[in-house]
Structure 1
Amino acid sequence: MDATTRKPTHPGAIIRHDYMEPLNLTVTGLAAHLGISRKHLSQVIHERAGVTSGLALRLARAFNTSPELWLNLQRKCDLWEAERAAPGLETIRPLPQLAGL
């Protein structure tokens, strides 16, 4: 289990703070540029939806980044949340057959 106690930054927050605000982009304008609905982009930047593979490709082209950047940010958030929501996870130990490998 990851020892990180601080929740990772959601990719939507990065889109909002690092791109939209400095570039004076509106949700409507950026959504149109990306070819997605305004509603979907709004859900992502307000951290109610995650970045999908398709959106990662669009963001990478628009912001001159890589799709892996966006997917890795989302993966970190998803794993952090899953580690805290999975009941009984702390009781699972490695299989005895794998000891010493």
Structure 2
Amino acid sequence: MAVNFARPMHPGEFLREEYLVPLDMSPGRLAKALGLPRTRIERIAREEIGISTDTALRLARFFSTTPGFWLNLQQAYDVETEAPKLAADIARIEPYAPVGQAA
């Protein structure tokens, strides 16, 4: 099993560092362009909340990406941050093996 020492990247960090900062764009300006409350983009950029499907659709349109791009960032972050918290519970789950087959 490979060990990953990098910390998970919140999609808000990616939005901030790869789009907002280089474009010299404020979260408020982006929110206005997306037709969203300013606080939603501010909270995403501060890594307080995640990216919803609604937000992913809007970001994809604005930045000419895909909704899946944004949702995959969110999903990867969620898995990386939740897996350590649930590791003990997950380890107790016995994999399904049909009758007559070894696990």
- Tell me: CA distance 1:59–1:79, structure 2 relative to 1, closer, same or farther (3 Å): same
| 1:95 Cα deviation from its structure 2 partner | 2.3
Looking at structure 2, the residues matched to 94 and 3 of structure 1 have their Cα atoms a distance apart, in angstroms, of: 23
CA RMSD after TM alignment: 2.2
| 1:100 Cα deviation from its structure 2 partner | 5.0
For the 8 Å contact 1:51–1:74, the answer to whether it is kept is: yes
For the 8 Å contact 2:15–2:45, the answer to whether it is kept is: yes
Counterpart of 1:14 in structure 2 is: 14
For the 8 Å contact 1:7–1:77, the answer to whether it is kept is: no
Identity score, percent: 33
Looking at structure 2, the residues matched to 2 and 85 of structure 1 have their Cα atoms a distance apart, in angstroms, of: 18
| 1:6 Cα deviation from its structure 2 partner | 2.8
- Tell me: CA distance 1:69–1:30, structure 2 relative to 1, closer, same or farther (3 Å): same
For the 8 Å contact 2:56–2:67, the answer to whether it is kept is: yes
| 1:79 Cα deviation from its structure 2 partner | 1.0
5+ unaligned residues in a row in structure 2: which ranges? none
Looking at structure 1, the residues matched to 51 and 75 of structure 2 have their Cα atoms a distance apart, in angstroms, of: 9
Computing the radius of gyration over CA atoms, which structure comes out larger, 1 or 2? 2
| 1:5 Cα deviation from its structure 2 partner | 4.4
Q: TM-score, normalised by structure 2?
A: 0.84
Aligned length: 101
